[in-house]
Structure 1
Amino acid sequence: MINPASRTKSIELSQIRKMFEVANPNAINLGIGEPDFNVPENIKNAMKNSIDENDTHYTSNKGLIELREEIVKKFKNENGIKTNTENIIVTVGASEALFMCAQAFIEKGDDVILPNPSFLSYEACVNIAGGTIVPVDCKMENEFKLKADDVAEKITKNTKAIILNSPSNPTGAVMEKEDIKAIADLSMDNNFLIISDEIYEKIIYDKKHYSPAKYSDNVITLNGFSKTYAMTGLRIGYLTANEFYTEELLKIHQYNIACANTTSQRGAYEALTGPQDEVEKMVNEFKNRRNLIVSRLNEMGYETVNAEGAFYVFPKIDDENFVSKAAEAGVITVPGVAFGSNGKGHVRMSYANSYENIEKAMDILEERVVNG
């Protein structure tokens, strides 16, 4: 057998995907962060028409020009970000965009600040690139929100980047405007890069989303269609940054992917230009589910922050065997420690499942795990 490259030795397969692969098909899955809604019909039809019209050839490396034009409008109108079509790259999901950022800008000797806990792909991408993780505690008493003062304490001459994710996976925390702006100011004062993963920006309850790129030029903004339009398997995302950053990112994208899926790009164009009614319905339903799962977990004695966005809760559960007990009882969850050391003593549960299934899952946990 040939030994793998040394850069993969510190990487483990995703614990989330492990849970997904081994889950009992009859279990209620609160482990995967995937909307249980279907792609809206207008988006489906746009993609069907694309195939029927034989629109299945390469696009520009950066993506369809008409899609990039709509993304420019979206950034201006919704995020206050000034950009142009040359500074947009359409990617194979936000995951590719994240990997591109790490490969283009992070190398051995670079420190990358990460919220702790945070989405496990961030640490993996930084490790593959050779960077060093510098964690910043996101405490439950602060509703798991990343605070600018805590970030400032971690900045050194080796700081190359920080990865932000608001709303947060795994906690559902939404950062405050003053912290976003303060970190943006820090990025300019100390010349480091902000990689802002905004994939959950539309799934927010009773709060407002703020983009750091509105306040700093040292930002790469990542987004996509997976969560907002339930287009997870269609793998379509995008990013924007200034001209210098975009040119470096394009080098990675060009030689790795060439271009994003043409049919998915047609669907993405329709998603941005078509009606948004289904998005509003989906977010309202997520809010109802959030209220249900938070109240039930708190009633069971599992202290749970009332998550302000995304579709995750991160209850405090000190039982190290909870995840396996829950799985045996028929409910799939993810151990919090998969998202960083501060995740220890917590469990991530996704409420991207039907209201009825969440009710059943809570009943199972109460009867067979808490009182079993």
Structure 2
Amino acid sequence: MINPANRTKTIELSLIRKMFEVTNPNAINLGIGEPDFDVPKNIKQAMKNSIDENDTHYTPNKGYIELREEIVKKFKNDNGINTNPDNIIVTAGASEGLFLCAQAFIEKGDEVLLPDPGFLSYEACVKIADGTIVPVDCTMENEFKIKAEDVEEKITDKTKAIVLNSPSNPTGAVMEKEDVKAIADLSMDKNFLIISDEIYEKIIYDKKHYSPAKYSDNVITLNGFSKTYAMTGLRIGYLTANENYIEEMLKIHQYNIACASTTSQRGAYEALIGPQDEVNKMVDEFQRRRDLIVTRLNDMGYETVNAEGAFYVFPKIEDENFVLKAAKEGVITVPGIAFGSNGKNHVRMSYANSYENIEKAMDILEERVVNG
């Protein structure tokens, strides 16, 4: 056997995926970060039309111009970000966007600040790029929100970038405006890059979303259609940054996938120009489920922050065997330690499952795990 590259030895396969292997197909899955809703009908029809019209060939590397033009409008209207079609790259999901950032800008010796707890792909992408990870504590006392003063303490002359994710996976935390702006100001003063993962921006309940690119030029903003429009398997996302950053990422994008799927791009275009009724219904239902799961967990004695966005809760559960016990009883969750050292004694639960299934899952946990 040929030895793998050293950089791959430093990363592990996803612990989220591993949890799927310890259960039966009838288990209630509170582990997966995927909306349980169908793609809206108008988006499906646009993709069907694309295939019927033989629109299945290469697109420009950056994506269809009409899609990029709509993304420009979206950034201006929703985020206060002024950009242009040349400064947009349509990607194979926000995940590819993250990988492009790491490969284009991170190298050996560079320090990258990551929220702890934070989405596990951030750490893997930095390690593959030979970067050095510097965790920034997001504590339960601060409702898991990343604070500007904690970021400033970690900045050195080796700091190359920070990854921000609001609303957050795994905690559902939404950053405060003053922290977003303060970190944006730091990025200009200290000259480092902000990689802003805003994939959950539309799934937000009690707060308003703020984009750091509104306040700084040193920002790459990542977004996509997976969470907002339940288009996870269609692998379609996008990013924007200034022209110098775009040129470097385009090099990686060109030689990696050439262009995003034509069919998915047509669906994405329809998603932006079409009605948003289904999105609003989905968010309302997520909020209803959040209220249910937070109440039930707190009633069981598991301290749980009332997540303000995304579709995750991150209760404090000190029983080290909780996840395995729950899995054996038919409820899949993810150990918090998968998301960083501050995830210890926590468990991530996704409420991207039906209200009825969440009720059943909470009954199982209460009757067989907590009191069993």
Identity of aligned residues (%): 87
Alignment of 1:1-372 (within 5 A): 1-372=1-372
CA shift digits 1:61-115 (9 cap, x unpaired)? 0000000000000000110000000000000000000000000000000000011
How large is the Cα RMSD of the aligned pairs?
A: 0.5
For 1:64 and 1:327, the matched residues in 2 are separated by 44
For 2:175 and 2:131, the matched residues in 1 are separated by 25
Aligned to 2:36, what secondary structure does the other structure show? coil
Aligned to 2:348, what secondary structure does the other structure show? strand
Aligned to 2:70, what secondary structure does the other structure show? helix
For 2:260 and 2:350, the matched residues in 1 are separated by 28
Residue type at the aligned position of 1:122: Y
Residue type at the aligned position of 1:170: P
Native 8 Å contact 2:100 2:252 kept in 1: yes
Native 8 Å contact 2:126 2:132 kept in 1: yes
Aligned to 2:195, what secondary structure does the other structure show? strand
Residue type at the aligned position of 2:32: I
Residue type at the aligned position of 2:123: E
- How far the C-alpha of 1:20 sits from its partner, in A, is 2.6
Q: TM-score, normalised by structure 1?
A: 1.00
Native 8 Å contact 2:22 2:327 kept in 1: no
Residue type at the aligned position of 1:112: V
For 2:203 and 2:21, the matched residues in 1 are separated by 26
CA shift digits 1:125-184 (9 cap, x unpaired)? 000000000001101011000000000000000000000000000000000000000000
Q: TM-score, normalised by structure 2?
A: 1.00
- How far the C-alpha of 1:22 sits from its partner, in A, is 4.2
Residue type at the aligned position of 1:322: F
Aligned to 2:34, what secondary structure does the other structure show? coil
CA shift digits 1:206-261 (9 cap, x unpaired)? 21000000000000000000000000000000000000000000000000000000
For 1:158 and 1:104, the matched residues in 2 are separated by 17
- How far the C-alpha of 1:368 sits from its partner, in A, is 0.3
Aligned to 1:319, what secondary structure does the other structure show? coil
Aligned length: 372
Aligned to 1:153, what secondary structure does the other structure show? helix
- How far the C-alpha of 1:24 sits from its partner, in A, is 1.3
Native 8 Å contact 2:187 2:194 kept in 1: yes
Residue type at the aligned position of 2:364: I
Residue type at the aligned position of 2:284: N
- How far the C-alpha of 1:29 sits from its partner, in A, is 0.2
- How far the C-alpha of 1:21 sits from its partner, in A, is 4.2
For 2:327 and 2:126, the matched residues in 1 are separated by 31
For 1:225 and 1:21, the matched residues in 2 are separated by 28
For 2:22 and 2:90, the matched residues in 1 are separated by 33
For 1:104 and 1:370, the matched residues in 2 are separated by 47
- How far the C-alpha of 1:23 sits from its partner, in A, is 3.4
Gaps of 5+ in 2: none
For 1:80 and 1:29, the matched residues in 2 are separated by 37
Residue type at the aligned position of 2:348: R
Residue type at the aligned position of 2:294: V
Residue type at the aligned position of 2:338: A
CA shift digits 1:178-206 (9 cap, x unpaired)? 00000000000000000000000000002
For 1:20 and 1:52, the matched residues in 2 are separated by 36
For 2:102 and 2:113, the matched residues in 1 are separated by 13
For 2:27 and 2:224, the matched residues in 1 are separated by 29
- How far the C-alpha of 1:307 sits from its partner, in A, is 0.2
For 2:282 and 2:308, the matched residues in 1 are separated by 15
For 2:76 and 2:23, the matched residues in 1 are separated by 42
Residue type at the aligned position of 1:114: L
